[in-house]
Amino acid sequence: MELPRHPLVGLIMGSRSDWETMQHAAQVLEQLQVPHEVRVVSAHRTPDLLFEYAEQAEARGLEVIIAGAGGAAHLPGMTAAKTRLPVLGVPVESRILKGLDSLLSIVQMPAGVPVGTLAIGRAGAINAALLAVSILANKYPRCKEALERFRKTQMEAVLAEPDPRTA
């Protein structure tokens, strides 16, 4: 199936302050040329917007949502409660509790409303994007090819520099 031009991945976060972490997800989506959109949507500060976003996501053509939040990180869970689309949660590293609060807030969903929870911080943001592309790759060959190229390049980079003392 042809890759559509409209956003397939909705990348949302609870605050502008989350962008430092979530930009890594956006970079992967850009690198793999996956149409996506980026929005600040706060579960606590803009709850009505969150409901509207989650309720309309599928009809607007989104197929996966990545939600990053820190602290009392309710954004991924509440988004999952309002859409049947897969929701991938990224725990943003909080200043005081180093993201453990974010991780537990996102990962401990009650049975029946899943959120695919990634690692805290940059690794989680990158992997959320890669997992989103994996989901899309089941349907879109361009995503499958992009993912395979990414893996190959990554592997070759590691194999090319086996000695950690060299730059």
Q: Which is nearer to ligand RP5, 42 or 79 (CB)?
A: 42
Question: Of 12, 29, 34, 69, which lies in the binding site for ligand RP5, with binding defined by CB under 6 A?
Answer: 69
> How far is 16 from 34, CA to CA, in rounded Å?
22
**CB burial class (10 A; 0-12, 13-18, 19+) of residue 37?**
middle
Of 12-20, 59-67, 121-129, 149-157, the window that binds ligand RP5 (rule: CB under 6 A) is 12-20
By the rule CB under 6 A, 92 interacts with ligand RP5: yes
Q: What is the DSSP string of 29-90?
A: HHHTT--EEEEE--TTTSHHHHHHHHHHHTTTT--EEEEEEESS--HHHHHHHT-SS-EEEE
By the rule CB under 6 A, 117 interacts with ligand RP5: no
By the rule CB under 6 A, 93 interacts with ligand RP5: no
Query: 15 labelled as ligand-binding?
Result: yes
Residues that bind ligand RP5 (CB under 6 A): 14-15, 17-18, 42, 44, 69-71, 92
Binding-site entries? 15, 18, 45
